[in-house]
Amino acid sequence: MPIIRRLPENLVNRIAAGEVVERPAAALKELIENAIDAGAKRISVSLVDGGLTRLEVTDDGCGMSSGEMALALERHATSKLPDDAIEQVSTLGFRGEALPSIASVSRFTVESRVRGEEQGWRKVVDHGSLEIDEPAALPPGTRVRVEEVFAKIPARRKFLRTPRSEYGASLDVVRRLAMARPDIAFTLEHAGRRALNVQPDQSVETRVAAIVARELADNAVSIDFERGAMHLTGVAGLPTYNRGVADHQYLFVNGRPVKDRLLTGAVRGAYADMLARDRHAVLALFLELPAEDVDVNVHPAKTEVRFREAAAVRGFIVSGLRQALSTGDRRSVQGPDAGAMGRWQTEPMREEPAPALRSIFDGGDWSATQQRVSDTATAYRSDTGEVLAEPQGRAEIAEEPVARYPLGVARGQIARTYVVAEAEDGLVIVDQHAAHERLVLERLRAAGAEDAIKRSQALLMPEVVEMDEGDCDRLEDAIPKLAELGLVIERFGADAMLVRAVPHSLGKSNAHALLRDLADDIAKHGETILLGEKLDLVLATMACHGSVRAGRTLNVAEMNALLREMERTPRSGQCNHGRPTWVKLSMDDVEKLFGRH
């Protein structure tokens, strides 16, 4: 019979290190968090071979005495939980596992001096064995050096990646923590080169732009949204300023960098009708809420959190993002300052109506609106269905003054696709199809199209969809929410759902595929957002078919009506797929092209 025994302390530490110290970047994260919790105002990081050979963190925090250093190297010893209320933890670290775990799998040197003391102290631990315990001379604060990670554990060492990969992971850690605390100065050196240097006491917008991308400052909106005890701040990139991967989305909960599926899903929902499916927003969101409403004690790495009211948090983030984007979404993305042709300029938008274009959309009745959309699309084609090729009008010099309008006055059309306008101090080029596509979508929404789309269409014969019991449980919990969106279902035994009605616009959808996607979406994001996105896609598709096509020749009145409507329509800076609808070249840049500057 196997004998139950207590594991030795060094083996316990190595087992714990398997969870805490997955790679050098994980150790670096713990050390920087300790420095922040110690009240540091300046934190310096130095790496050799991406942290594989050595990593060092120096801070000017409160420091530790010799006795405190010895206690800190014991498991589950921490100064960050003064009582047993772990649900009220306000520090980044709180488990008391990091230092002993790191010291058990590396050569670990810690030097510290309490502010006001004459000298500091040094301790060196080599893979769990204390080797040096002596006085040391150093400024107030703490310096920690980690060398030869997993050198005596070949089975773990061989799973580490190349120095370049480990450096990339370490750089990401420093960037996230530096964004979380713009009041602290951070420096990062690697292989003798300074890779990051940010000054203390910066605004969130300045710090995020300095770390993520300089051009983000000109292509983003600030967020400051509050509801009850929740507060959302940060920076959100314009929809037209996007990336092909989601690695430029930085999320923080109570100052803690996290990678949370619910928050990621909320971002996707907020940008649903403003980005193409394969593009991702660039942003940094800082969510503050009461400590008792979020559980940070989910995983040793502390990158995952669990919310008490997940649906409320998600809805709050979506609302905050959409409200912020509505204040700046008439803008189009600006390019980097790389010469005259690379600079695009934004202008303040006008809130006056455009009577010449409004006639297309007048009336709140859904059927009438739908007919007008159809008529609008048909009007630009001949009786045979071909796109009209003959010019319907010629752009001429407008009589009204240019200075009256932010987007200027139409001067002509290029390739029957782009409207050229003259503004007071620049040249504006508008993609007529992309711009009108957004205008139609917003008008459809204003006319109640979304509500009409969500109306249910009862099935003549209710359809039984067999699914896994777990998927049925998820859908059953979401029945009230799905009913609001027009999907009426009910439980039909242990492993089946009965579909009684579907949204009118999705009447021909495959019920089994729809419910399967919804169940997968709930399991992934904890919220029924996929159906709402499907409805948004229906609206966007209708808007695309009801908008002015590329290849349609516009007369002067139509061009100017388009420009005026853009000036008063939300989100007119980008089409429904996240592409810019207009760009502007300033007169200074035009003159540079001809050598006048």
Domain with CATH 3.30.230.10 in the chain: 204-328
In tens, the pLDDT along 496-520 reads 999 998 877 666 667 888 888 778 7
In tens, the pLDDT along 223-256 reads 999 999 999 999 999 887 888 788 889 999 999 9
Higher pLDDT, 416 or 29: 29
Domain with CATH 3.30.565.10 in the chain: 9-198
φ/ψ of 232, rounded to 5, equals -120, 125
Strands (E), 254-320: 256-258, 280-281, 283-288, 294-295, 306-307
Element (H, E) at 217: none
Query: In this predicted structure, what is the pLDDT of residue 526?
Result: 56
Mean pLDDT of 345-369: 46
Q: Which fold has domain 9-198?
A: Heat Shock Protein 90 (3.30.565)
Higher pLDDT, 16 or 7: 7
Band (196; pLDDT cuts 50, 70, 90): very high
Higher pLDDT, 450 or 106: 106
Query: In this predicted structure, what is the pLDDT of residue 389?
Result: 40
Higher pLDDT, 456 or 473: 473
Cβ(211)–Cβ(199) below 8 Å: no
Q: Of 485-494, 525-534, 573-582, where does mean pLDDT reach its minimum? A: 525-534
Query: Rounded to an integer, what distance in angstroms lies between the CA atom of residue 585 and that of residue 428?
Result: 7
In whole numbers, what is the pLDDT of the chain averaged over residues? 79
Query: In this predicted structure, what is the pLDDT of residue 366?
Result: 46
Q: Which CATH number fits domain 204-328: 3.50.50.60, 3.30.300.130, 3.30.230.10, 3.40.50.300?
A: 3.30.230.10
pTM, to two decimals: 0.65
Query: Rounded to an integer, what distance in angstroms lies between the CA atom of residue 52 and that of residue 510?
Result: 52
Mean pLDDT of 362-385: 47
Domain with CATH 3.30.1370.100 in the chain: 456-530
φ/ψ of 428, rounded to 5, equals -110, 135
Q: Which fold has domain 456-530?
A: Ribosomal Protein S8; Chain: A, domain 1 (3.30.1370)
Cβ(245)–Cβ(280) below 8 Å: yes
Specify whether domain 340-448+544-593 bears CATH 3.30.365.10: no
pLDDT of residue 170 exceeding 80, the answer is: yes
Q: Of 48-52, 170-174, 436-440, where does mean pLDDT reach its minimum? A: 436-440
Query: For the purposes of burial, counting CB atoms within 10 Å of the CB of 160, is it exposed (0-12), middle (13-18) or buried (19 or more)?
Result: middle
Band (350; pLDDT cuts 50, 70, 90): very low
